[in-house]
Structure 1
Amino acid sequence: MRGFGDLEAAIMDRLWVRGEPATVREILTDLERELAYTTVLTVVDNLFKKGWLRREPAGRAHRYTPTASRGEYGARLMREALAESGDPAQAMLRFVGEMSAAEADTLRAALAAYEKGTQR
């Protein structure tokens, strides 16, 4: 898995923010860019084929919904980065070393919540 391209990321962002299924026309309107309908249709179809979107019929069109949350997408990217680093422990150490105090606090809270949830 690789990160989204620029237009893929913009489309996914609009769908995550929207929080409800959208047609290609609605996505195009939300993007606030000068793009051809067919360009957005092609990228949305590619995201569907890659498994990032699901679709349901809506008249002659389809309504699209993300198959993963923004957080799940971020977690997949981090997991891939660790796997491809060659040395996951070293990559994690460097990543943590670059965190702000607030980010480190967030990480500690997430680890504590995870550990609490797995010890039931």
Structure 2
Amino acid sequence: MRREPGALESAVVGVLSDQAPMTVEQVRAALGEELAYTTVMTALVRLTQKGLVERVRAGRAHRYSLVVAADELPAFQAALRMRRELDSRAGRADVLANFVAGLGPEDEAVLRQLLDDSASDDSRSH
């Protein structure tokens, strides 16, 4: 039976969100389905390549865990997409200008505060 695109990755994220770092076999067992080991491993590798999951060697196996808490994943994914977009463009200023131009007043205020906080943090560390 074929799944909807992204359904297995979403299920894997759901399993990892409630657990300590897990091996492929532990994730497969937690999914409670008749999935092949390689199918689950492929999903974990893809999530690692996307930057959402980290992999740490544990003996002969690897243990996988989310890089941020599950409730922070949507914001983290958006930030990764923005970084990729900025890195792929020569006109980074144009990308940022277009992004800022689309912000409403409340979001602008939040962005200003975040930039101010970041500048304060940078000045304290130097």
TM-score with structure 1 length normalisation? 0.60
Instruction: Report 1 or 2 for greater relative contact order, CA contacts < 8 Å, sequence distance ≥ 6.
Output: 1
The answer for unaligned runs of 5 or more in structure 2 is none
Match of 1:78 in 2: 82
Rg larger in 1 or in 2? 2
Calculate the aligned-residue CA RMSD, in Å: 3.8
Q: Deviations over 1:1-57 (max 9, x none)?
A: xxxx8368526743663362123355346668x672331122224555788522343
The answer for unaligned runs of 5 or more in structure 1 is none
Q: SS at 1:119's partner residue?
A: helix
Matched, 1:105 2:106: no
Matched, 1:88 2:112: no
Match of 1:20 in 2: 20
Conservation of the 8 A alpha-carbon contact between 2:12 and 2:31? no
Identity %: 25
Partner letter of residue 56 of structure 2? R
Q: Deviations over 1:72-100 (max 9, x none)?
A: 66444322201223311111111112224
Match of 2:36 in 1: 37
Conservation of the 8 A alpha-carbon contact between 1:24 and 1:41? yes
Count of aligned residue pairs for this structure pair: 113
TM-score with structure 2 length normalisation? 0.58
Q: SS at 2:55's partner residue?
A: strand
